[in-house]
Structure 1
Amino acid sequence: MNYNSQRKLVIFSFSLIPVLLLLTFSYLPVINMFFYSFTEWNGFSPTKEFVGLDNYVDIFTDSEYFQVFKVSIYYFIATFVQMGIALYFATILSFNVRFKNFFKGILFFPYLLNGVAIGFMFLFFFRPEGTLDTFLTIIGLEGLIQQWLRNPEIINISLAGTSVWRYMGFNFIIFLGAISSIPKEVYEAAEIDGANKWHQFRYIILPSIMMIIQLNLILAISGAISVFEIPYIMTGGANGSETFVIQTVDLAFKFNKFGLASAMGIVLLGIVVVVTIIQRLTFKKETE
C-alpha cells in the first residue's frame, strides 16, 4: 500500500466514527422529526395518523400556539438594549481608562455562568421581598415594587432583563474586538483635526463596526425565538411567559402531541436556516 492510500485510509478511519455519530444523533432525528410533523402521534402509539399540513396550519392560525411569537418580541427588543449597553461600554473601554481590564472581566463574567444558575439567582432577585424589592425600599422607591414574576404585564420584561444581563458580555467582547482592530493612527489623525470622543465614535468607530452590528441584529431574530433556559427555570412558562421552545417541549412531553411539537421544531429550524442564509449573504455583500 503506497503513501496516498495509507493517508486516505487513516483519514477515513478517524472520520468514520464522528460522521456516524453526527448522522445518528443529528441528521437522523431531524429527518424523523420532519416525518412526525405531518402526523398526529402521541409518542408511544405504534400507529401514526397522517394529517398533512394540519400541524403547520395550527401553529400559525391557532392563537393558543401563535401567541408565543408575541413573547419573542420582548426578547427581540431587549436585544437592542443589550447591544446598546454593550456598545457603550466597549467604546469607553477601548480608550485609555483606569482599571480597564478589571471592568472587562466584570462585564464578561455573567456570560460565563451557567444558564440554570442564573435562573435561580434571579428567582431570588425578583421574588417578593427579595433583592430587588429590598433595594427599592432602601432608596425610597417602594411604590415601584411589583409582582415581578407573577404579573403577566411585566413578567416578560423581567425575564428579558435577565437575558440582557447574561448575554450583554458576549456582545461587549465582540464589539470590543472589532473596535480594537481600528488602527490607532486614525484616532490620532482625528484628534489633530479637533475631533472629540463623540466625533470619533460617530465617524470612526460606528462605521467601522457597522457590519458586526448588522450581523448581531440578524442573529437576534433567531435568538429571540429560541429562548429557553431562563424562562423555563424561573417560571416554567407560567403567567404568559411561555416561549416558542418551552411550548414545544410542553406539547411533546406534557400533552403527548409529538406531531405538533415536531412541526414547531421544524418551523424553528426553518427560521434559523433563513436567518443564517441572510447572515451569510449580508456578510458576503459587506466584504465585497
Structure 2
Amino acid sequence: MGRRPVAGHEVTRRPWLYLAPALILLITFTYVPVGNMVFYSFHKWDGLDVTMEPAGLDNYARVLTDERYWRVFLVSLYYLAASFAQIAIALYFAVVLSFQTRFRNLFKGILFFPYLLNGVAVGFVFLYLFQPDGTLDTVLRLIGLGDHTRQWLGDPDIANLSLAGTSVWRFTGLNFVLFLGAIQSIPGDVYEAAEIDGANRWHQFRHIIVPGIRRIISLSFILAISGSLSVFEIPFIMTGGANGTRTFVVQAYETAFQFRQIGLASAMAVVLLLLVLLITWVQRRILPDEEVTLS
C-alpha cells in the first residue's frame, strides 16, 4: 500500500509541533519573567501589596546616580581578572592534554570535577578553607609559612582576591572542556602535515590551534565578562557581601528581599541585562565571528 500524500500545510506545520514544548517552556520561564521584571522596574512595590505605585524612571535614575548601587561594579574587576586567569589555565591544559600525555584522562577528570559541584557546596568548602586557623592556615604553618596567614575573608584588602581565587578553581573546568572539544575537532592530518614541515608544538599552537578555536575563545571571553558582572553564589555564601565583597547581584538580592524594594531591584536587574548585552555586542563587533577552515 502506498503512503498517503501529505498536504503542504501539514508539512509546514509539523516542525512547529516538535518545537512547541520547548517554546512554551522558554516563553513561560524566560520571556514572561523578564517582561514582569521590566514592568516592576517602573513601579514602587514591596512585593506584598496588591497595588503598585508608578515610579516612572525614578528607579533607573537612582541606580545610575546613587554611588551605593554602581560602586559595587568595581568588585567585578576581581572576577574579571579571575576569568582571564581561568581562560589562560584552561587553554594551557587543553592544549597539553590534547596531545598524547600519560594519565591524560585522569587529569581531564580532575580539571573538570570542580565544575560539577554545586556552587553552594563549593562556597562552604572554601569557607572552611579560608576561615581563621582553617585548612589554608594549617598548611601554611606545616610548610613553614605561618607568618603569611591572614584573615582571608575578613580583611577587605584580600577578601575579594580569595573569592576570585575560588571562582578560578570552580570554573576553569568549563573553559577547559570547551577548549579541549574544539581542539580535538581539528583534523589530525593538519598536525601531521605541520610536523612534516618541521613545525614544533608552539608553531602548531600559534598557527593551527588558535585559529581553529577562535570562535570558542571569543565565546569564553563573552562568558567571562557576563559572568564577572553577575557573580552571586560565591560571595553570598562565603561572606554575605561583607568586607567590601558585595557584588551587583548580591546588592540587587538584598534590595529585593531584605529591604523589600522589588521595583528598584528589578531596575538593577534590567540595567545589568542591558550592560551585558551592550558589552557582548561591542565584543562581537571587535571580534567578528569569522569562518575558519583547516581541513
Q: Do both proteins adopt the same fold according to a TM-score greater than 0.5, normalized to the shorter chain?
A: yes
Deviation at 1:176, TM superposition (A): 1.0
In 2, the alpha carbon distance for the partners of 1:9 and 1:195 equals 54
In 1, the alpha carbon distance for the partners of 2:187 and 2:16 equals 45
Question: What's 1:85 paired with?
Answer: 89
2:172 counterpart SS class:
helix
1:238 counterpart SS class:
coil
Question: What's 2:277 paired with?
Answer: 273
Question: What's 2:216 paired with?
Answer: 212
Structure 1 residues 188 and 222 mapped into 2: Cα distance closer, same or farther (>3 Å)?
same
Given that residues 112 and 176 in structure 2 are in contact (C-alpha distance below 8 angstroms), is that contact kept between their aligned partners in structure 1?
yes
In 1, the alpha carbon distance for the partners of 2:23 and 2:83 equals 36
Aligned-partner residue type, residue 163 of structure 1: S
Question: What's 2:235 paired with?
Answer: 231
Unaligned stretches of 5+ residues in structure 2: none
Q: CA RMSD in A?
A: 2.6
Counterparts of 1:218-257 in structure 2, within 5 Å, are 218-257=222-261
Q: Does 1:202 align with 2:206?
A: yes
Q: Does 1:118 align with 2:94?
A: no
Question: What's 2:131 paired with?
Answer: 127
Aligned-partner residue type, residue 122 of structure 1: F
In 2, the alpha carbon distance for the partners of 1:13 and 1:39 equals 38
1:67 counterpart SS class:
helix
Structure 1 residues 86 and 18 mapped into 2: Cα distance closer, same or farther (>3 Å)?
closer
Aligned-partner residue type, residue 100 of structure 1: R
Unaligned stretches of 5+ residues in structure 1: none
Structure 1 residues 6 and 161 mapped into 2: Cα distance closer, same or farther (>3 Å)?
same
Structure 1 residues 144 and 48 mapped into 2: Cα distance closer, same or farther (>3 Å)?
same
1:286 counterpart SS class:
coil
Structure 1 residues 154 and 39 mapped into 2: Cα distance closer, same or farther (>3 Å)?
same
For these two proteins, the number of residue pairs brought into alignment is 287
Given that residues 219 and 275 in structure 1 are in contact (C-alpha distance below 8 angstroms), is that contact kept between their aligned partners in structure 2?
no
Structure 1 residues 12 and 213 mapped into 2: Cα distance closer, same or farther (>3 Å)?
closer
Structure 1 residues 180 and 14 mapped into 2: Cα distance closer, same or farther (>3 Å)?
closer
In 1, the alpha carbon distance for the partners of 2:33 and 2:235 equals 26
In 2, the alpha carbon distance for the partners of 1:74 and 1:284 equals 27
Structure 1 residues 22 and 95 mapped into 2: Cα distance closer, same or farther (>3 Å)?
closer
Please give the per-residue CA displacement for 1:114-157, whole angstroms capped at 9, x wherever unaligned: 11111111111111111111111111112221111111111111
Q: What percentage of residue pairs aligned between the two structures are identical? A: 58
TM-score, reference length from structure 1: 0.89
Question: What's 1:55 paired with?
Answer: 59
Deviation at 1:40, TM superposition (A): 2.0
Given that residues 215 and 282 in structure 1 are in contact (C-alpha distance below 8 angstroms), is that contact kept between their aligned partners in structure 2?
no
Given that residues 215 and 279 in structure 1 are in contact (C-alpha distance below 8 angstroms), is that contact kept between their aligned partners in structure 2?
no
In 2, the alpha carbon distance for the partners of 1:23 and 1:184 equals 42
